[in-house]
Amino acid sequence: MLALGLGAGVPSAAGQTTPRARNVVLFIGDGVDDHQLTIARNYLLGADGEFVFEAFEHRAAAKVQTVLERDPRVPVYVGDSASGGTAIAAGVVTSRGRVATRAGTGEPVSTILEQAAAAGKRTGIVTTSSISDATPASFAAHVRRRWCQGPREMWPTPTDPRCPEDLKANGGLGSIAEQLAGSGIDVLLGGGYRYFDQPDEDGVSVLRRASDAGYRVVRDAAELVETSEVSGKLLGLFGDDTLPVEWVGEAGGRARPLQLTEWGQVIAPQPFGCVANPSFGTRPTLQAMTRAALTRLESAPDGFVLMVESASIDKQAHAGNPCGQIGETRALDEAVRTAVAFQETHPDTLILVSSDHGHSAQIVPWPSLFASRQDAQYPPGKVARLLTLEGGEMAVSYGTNTTYLEEHTGTQVPVYAQGPGAAAVRGLIRQSDLFGIVRRALALE
List contacts with Zn ion (CB under 5 A).
Answer: 314
Q: Among this protein's residues, is 81 annotated catalytic?
A: yes
DSSP string, 77-144: S---HHHHHHHHHHS----TT-BSB-TTT--B---HHHHHHHTT-EEEEEEEEETTSHHHHTTT--BS
Minimum distance, C-beta of residue 81 to Zn ion, in the bound complex (Å): 6
- Note whether 180 and 140 are within 8 A (CB): yes
Minimum distance, C-beta of residue 150 to Zn ion, in the bound complex (Å): 20
Closer residue to Zn ion in complex, CB, 314/334: 314
| Alpha carbon of residue 88 to chain centroid | 11
User: Residue 293: CB partners within 8 Å, gap ≥ 6?
Assistant: 124, 126, 187, 189, 306, 308
Closer residue to Zn ion in complex, CB, 258/405: 405
- Note whether 351 and 336 are within 8 A (CB): yes
- Note whether 98 and 145 are within 8 A (CB): yes
In the bound complex, which residue of the shown chain has the CB atom lying closest to Zn ion? Answer: 314
Smallest CA-to-CA distance from 26 within 411, 397, 293 is with: 293
Minimum distance, C-beta of residue 283 to Zn ion, in the bound complex (Å): 21
354: burial class by Cβ within 10 Å (0-12, 13-18, 19+)?
buried
Nearest-angstrom CA–CA distance, 209 and 213: 6
Give the DSSP letter of residue 441. H
Minimum distance, C-beta of residue 312 to Zn ion, in the bound complex (Å): 10
47: burial class by Cβ within 10 Å (0-12, 13-18, 19+)?
exposed
Closer residue to Zn ion in complex, CB, 123/400: 400
Task: Tell me which of 81, 130, 175, 355 is the catalytic residue.
Answer: 81
- Note whether 245 and 324 are within 8 A (CB): yes
DSSP H/E element including 18: strand 17-19
Nearest-angstrom CA–CA distance, 255 and 395: 9
Q: What is the pairing mode between strands 17-19 and 413-418?
A: unpaired
Measure the CA angle with vertex 282, ends 278 and 285; round to 5°.
85
Closer residue to Zn ion in complex, CB, 294/317: 317
Active site residues: 81
